[in-house]
Amino acid sequence: MGLSSPAFAEDIQVMATVDRNQITLEDSLQLSITIQGTQNTPPPELPSLPDFRVTSSGTSSSTQIINFKRSVSITHKYRLTPMNSGQFKIGSVRIRANGKVYSTQPITVVVQKSTAQNKSVDKSVFVETNVSKKTAYVGEQLIYSFKLFHRVEAKNFDLSMPFGASHFQKEDLGKAKSYQSVINGIQYQVQEIAVALFPIKPGNAEIPSAMLDLDIYHRTRSNRRGFFNDPFFGQGIRAEHKVLRSKPLSVEILALPEKNKPLGFKKIIGQFNIQANLGKNDLEVGDTTTLTITVSGKGNIRGVTFPEPDLNNQFKVYPDQPEFKQTVAANQITGQKIFKFALVPLQAGTVTLPALTLDYFDPEAKDYRQVKTRPITLSVHPSSTEETLNHVQSNSINNTLTKPEIEILAEDILPIHTQLNDFQSVDIKVGTSTLIGFVSPALLFVIAAFFIRQQKRLTTDVAFYRNQKAYKAASQKLENLGRSQNSESKEFVSELSEILREYIGDKLNMQGKAITAAEVEHKLKESDYQANAASNTRKLLEKCEALQYTPVSSGNNLELLNESQDILKILEKKS
């Protein structure tokens, strides 16, 4: 066991321990919080751990009776995955019980860098990432692949594979593949997953490091023989949790050249073909045929569009919804997009549909290309069915009807108005009070429905509840912190950092205390916050982390408090 720190009360003892206090970036450590004397306490309040990713590993409870004395305890377990190398301090863990607060002493942990992943070394498990090209054009398809090599049993994979959303659009390429590979005479089982990345802007783009959590199982041989003296039954299994990280990759993204660029180019990148077919070439005026345009190839084919063809008012054109079919072969996206237009000829004669063109940029040729369809000729005949015109002839004025077609059989009790002069226009004026009387019930109904829905959502949607209450809770905590007379500057800065992380965690529905400053900036940008606000938030958190380990003055504390309040207002305004 690593370091431990108890805190005693009359009946309750709290102890925080770690399974080891020296690890590498490939490992993780287990933090155990044991509460003796009670099993009915709220979960422990963990300190701010910006350099670790914290995952709950469950709880366990126990009851013992020694010398007729009953002893109960509960243990909360957490897995801490390091994000950086160095010496770090796990701050005090707080437990609230019986109206009191119990705290543990800090624990120091040393995280060393991982050993170099050299394939020539007999490693039992390692990861590898690569990208199909180091230099690509905007819109060109890139293949980013992640490979896990292992020659021992591996389970419980948790892969985090960021791709740089500010520089790329991502499209999945299907499920992971599994195969075997021999490296330096050693056979490995390989798990590979690949995604297609499409650059969206020129510049030097970075694909961040991927991180994989997994459990590996080593078979150990015992000195004792098992059943039937069989050595197989003398084997044991030792589980080990590993955290594997890949190296970040850089890609240079080039802008599309201006030379030979077609007018109105629509940023179609790849290699394509185009075909046009007509449902029937011999038809009559008023009949219908279908023009089908099929674009196929590899690249960003999903972005191909075709306007309604200009047929010189010789046809009525009715466009249909395009169809898109995608296939993945050898980690390459190919497919076809089908456009259909219903054509109704308006006049007889021989008509030629003009050729249709598609301009695209070929990244392999590094130049613009154009494909076109063949002109299509069709014959339009006059309509074979003549329209009949129904003539209506009125009776002569001098003709007299021998028998009336309408006879008055009886009259209603109320007078029947039969003269035009009996009808008058009535000017109805709608007053303000009448208008309010009609509109207000509907308006009140909409307002009431909105508030009822909001209240219901607050009770059922945890993420929405956290988002709505985040600013008010954080502002109140900052006000209380500003009124405190705490002279210990480091605790002041630590609590300030914790308030900021809790606010961001509530806004983004994540564990705020365990998130790093760099992750805060990345998550805020992913959630469409302005880059300037995200960068300022990261800098403020890094400043708080630095001041926790150096002497600070109260003047600096007040400046940090004011800066934190300004950051909260900016983030809340942009959310």
pLDDT in tens, the chain (575 residues): 344 444 444 478 888 888 878 888 777 888 888 888 776 778 888 888 888 888 887 888 887 776 667 778 888 888 888 888 888 888 888 888 777 888 888 888 888 876 654 444 457 888 899 998 899 999 888 889 999 999 888 888 888 888 777 888 888 887 888 888 888 778 888 998 888 888 988 999 888 888 888 888 887 765 555 544 554 454 577 788 888 888 889 999 999 999 989 988 888 998 999 999 998 888 888 889 999 999 999 888 888 888 888 887 888 888 888 998 888 776 677 888 999 999 998 888 888 888 889 999 999 889 999 999 999 998 988 887 665 555 555 555 555 545 556 776 766 666 666 666 666 666 666 677 777 888 888 888 888 888 888 777 666 666 677 777 888 888 888 888 777 766 456 677 778 788 888 888 887 777 666 677 777 887 888 877 887 888 888 888 877 777 665 554 445 677 778 888 888 888 887 76
- Tokens 């802007």: give the residue: 201
Query: Between vectors from CA 293 to CA 289 and to CA 296, what angle results, nearest 5°?
Result: 155
| Residue 236 main-chain phi, psi, to 5 deg | -120, 170
- Tokens 């009953």: give the residue: 70
Largest CA distance in the chain: 129
The structure tokens listed for 193 are 């997953």
Residue pair 233/225 in contact (Cβ under 8 Å)? The answer is yes
Q: Give bridge partners of residue 111 from the DSSP assignment.
A: 23, 86
Residue pair 187/223 in contact (Cβ under 8 Å)? The answer is no
- Closest by alpha carbon to 248, among 180, 339, 167, 327? 167
Enumerate residues 6+ apart whose C-beta is below 8 A from 485.
none
337 half-sphere exposure, CB direction, 13 A CA radius = 18
The C-alpha atoms of residue 537 and residue 450 are separated, in whole angstroms, by 33
The C-alpha atoms of residue 540 and residue 431 are separated, in whole angstroms, by 59
Contacts 24+ apart (CB under 8 A), 172-181: 172/196, 173/143, 173/328, 173/331, 173/333, 174/328, 181/149
Enumerate residues 6+ apart whose C-beta is below 8 A from 553.
489
Query: Between vectors from CA 416 to CA 412 and to CA 420, what angle results, nearest 5°?
Result: 170
- Torsion sign (Cα): 546, 549, 551, 556: positive
The structure tokens listed for 522 are 């990345």
| Residue 420 main-chain phi, psi, to 5 deg | -65, -30
The C-alpha atoms of residue 470 and residue 507 are separated, in whole angstroms, by 6
Q: Is the pTM of this model over 0.85?
A: no
